[in-house]
Structure 1
């Protein structure tokens, strides 16, 4: 019997362009492969031992003879390449239309409604790098008290504010207001609070970021687990991605290594169910900033922590490692990239060296987890539990 699944999402760690990547301008994308080649290789022996290098179509990772894990690559069935779309598909939500994006900023009527509701003017209202826009407008923001509004190639409405100018709770209230305005055709995937501190020329974003996502349109694997009495423990931004729906307890994190620490802390508890972790630095700190060197280092740092995770596993645990999309830091753009994602599963109850090849949807992962716990099936997924479970 499997009592617990530890599911870790390496945010944006894709492994090669999907067949329809040309529609997204991503035909050259290959996050793992391009990072590895740019660095002359990656030192990730633990991921390789689990089977990462044996996945169909992967580049830049060493293959081993007898991996101890089960492995494969997964295609995204939904239309889109963002965090919300990827995570939602994993647990049973198919998104047929991409969330709206705003390459020239938000419409005048949206901004006017927001300004009236918060009682302030806004600065910015354009696509921008988060670090660049606070350097550009941070001083004016301090002088005027007006929040900085910006977006990106993703479906996001981001509000940046200095913590000493607009306190955190007020910033969160502004995000709630924006979330209520951004509905219908303007229902962006996420409204994000982006607080920062410091002085002009030396601004720093803080760990008090908070995402205000759309509420999932129907129950998912998480709800099905919760409704049957299992724990659903969310680490990192998982709680935000699902607006708390289907979550029994949650903890936010300041960086990847803190995310690993918090995952290990949950693993020390004797609760049956799901530990669902998102490690966001790959995406937020390195992918979007085209920092392939830090990206590669981050993969190596995660790999170095894997023995701790494996040693902490009970015989009735299963570890899943995957991603939600790509964000190739070697490409010219800073957007997410439309890619396959790698999949690894390991546990004493699972077979070794099972090649799942290429699966057509992320939802297969969620349906497999649903089968493990014998809960209500999710939409669109096909379980592969029989292929990987020891008899």
Structure 2
């Protein structure tokens, strides 16, 4: 076991890079988040991702491949059923799902809503498939008047509860979401219950950074369990702990990508050893779901500008992996996640730049992390370290 090493996985939430073999089955033909953003935006200024090999791994309009990329580069195909953050992160960590989490295109059944209302002592309004900003605009005044929860869902497997922070205390909102999480068991075992607090007045409602996700617990062993059993420290940044129901990892919650990148930099500069699992959510939450192409491009360029500092902080026995959990193409009519393959970039002093090809599953990344720490892997995936490292 090589317990003194470090590994960092950065998930660019929603930054897929093209169709997977089964994209048509999900209704997402034509989705290519990274490529379409670059095409519609007229190119991107991402020279550091380019140096690592992003354009060698996948076609990025306006960004040519480089002759000698410094990173390992490839793409990974999704094998778990579904296209949500929980499924994607679980697959990275070696756990596959045979069936997708349930979704509710007509809203939740009356029995589900009635049980939630009874247990929380408040009524429910909306119960529809809706944009988070639109549903708040439509129902905020009714919440002010009645004290009812605003409950809604999307094309993803989520039970979302919105509440104005001045009318319903945050702790009550979080407690209500915990109640919903406990109630939502099979066949209504949604992937996540999400607290969506907001503030403001009519015409100026805005969601706050106090969102919290309450995920269903992983049904099997994950990379985080393996690392925990081996005594290797694990640190999360962003919503990672929520996606694993707090099992095997605690996380520093961040308000945006900038704070997340700052937290990553701090971990690199201070952590003596261990594993860091970071999620940068702005790509998905702020830009993909809102079909905001300029915003998406700007977030990618901001991450690229931060890369040199992160790379400079890597020690000799560090590996940095950059990937995604699904797509969320802001150029398509849909505002929801897309079934896409995801990029794979790997950097470190011991990395031999070159192609890692098309990986059969996201789980190859988790298997490689376990291999890096010298651990036996009992999950899905095949390590690509032999293809990646100098002898």
| TM-score, normalised via structure 1 length | 0.98
Counterpart in 1 of 2:64?
62
Q: What is the deviation of 1:305? A: 0.4
The worse-fitting range, judged by mean Cα deviation, of 72-81 and 52-61 is 52-61
Of 146, 149, 152, the residue aligned with 1:150 is 152
* CA distance in 1: counterparts of 2:265 and 2:148, whole angstroms: 41
Q: What is the deviation of 1:304? A: 0.4
* CA distance in 2: counterparts of 1:160 and 1:225, whole angstroms: 35
Is 1:259 aligned with 2:260? yes
Deviation digits for residues 32-74 of structure 1 (CA, Å, limit 9, x no counterpart)? 1111010110100000000000004555532111000000000
Q: Counterpart of 1:184 in 2: which secondary structure?
A: coil
Counterpart in 2 of 1:383?
383
Deviation digits for residues 358-381 of structure 1 (CA, Å, limit 9, x no counterpart)? 011000000010101112303221
**How is 1:92-171 mapped onto 2 (pairs within 5 angstroms)?**
92-171=94-173
For residues 232 and 299 of structure 1, do their structure 2 counterparts lie closer, same or farther at Cα, with a shift above 3 Å needed? same
CA contact (8 A) 1:33 1:60 kept: no
Counterpart in 1 of 2:23?
21
Deviation digits for residues 108-153 of structure 1 (CA, Å, limit 9, x no counterpart)? 0000101110111111000000011111111111121111000000
CA contact (8 A) 2:17 2:58 kept: no
Deviation digits for residues 222-279 of structure 1 (CA, Å, limit 9, x no counterpart)? 11111111111000000100011111x4200000011000111111223311111000
Of 13, 17, 25, the residue aligned with 1:11 is 13
Q: What is the deviation of 1:4? A: 0.4
CA contact (8 A) 1:3 1:273 kept: yes
CA contact (8 A) 1:289 1:334 kept: yes
* CA distance in 2: counterparts of 1:279 and 1:270, whole angstroms: 20
Q: What is the deviation of 1:21? A: 0.8
* CA distance in 2: counterparts of 1:383 and 1:313, whole angstroms: 21
Counterpart in 1 of 2:313?
312
* CA distance in 1: counterparts of 2:280 and 2:9, whole angstroms: 11
Counterpart in 2 of 1:355?
355
Q: Counterpart of 1:100 in 2: which secondary structure?
A: coil
Q: Counterpart of 1:208 in 2: which secondary structure?
A: coil
Counterpart in 1 of 2:73?
71
CA contact (8 A) 2:105 2:154 kept: yes
Counterpart in 1 of 2:285?
284
CA contact (8 A) 2:35 2:59 kept: no
Deviation digits for residues 274-323 of structure 1 (CA, Å, limit 9, x no counterpart)? 11100001001100110011001100010000011011111211110000
CA contact (8 A) 2:43 2:61 kept: no
* CA distance in 1: counterparts of 2:60 and 2:186, whole angstroms: 39
Flag structure 2 segments of 5+ consecutive residues without an equivalent.
Answer: none
* CA distance in 2: counterparts of 1:25 and 1:347, whole angstroms: 38
Counterpart in 1 of 2:194?
192
Q: Structure 1 runs of 4+ off > 2 angstroms?
A: 56-62
CA contact (8 A) 1:56 1:358 kept: no
* CA distance in 2: counterparts of 1:216 and 1:270, whole angstroms: 27
* CA distance in 1: counterparts of 2:173 and 2:7, whole angstroms: 35
Q: Counterpart of 1:202 in 2: which secondary structure?
A: coil
Q: What is the deviation of 1:176? A: 0.6
* CA distance in 1: counterparts of 2:36 and 2:75, whole angstroms: 17
* CA distance in 1: counterparts of 2:254 and 2:198, whole angstroms: 16
CA contact (8 A) 1:12 1:325 kept: yes
Q: CA RMSD in A?
A: 1.1
**How is 1:226-241 mapped onto 2 (pairs within 5 angstroms)?**
226-241=228-243
CA contact (8 A) 1:193 1:209 kept: yes
Q: What is the deviation of 1:219? A: 1.9
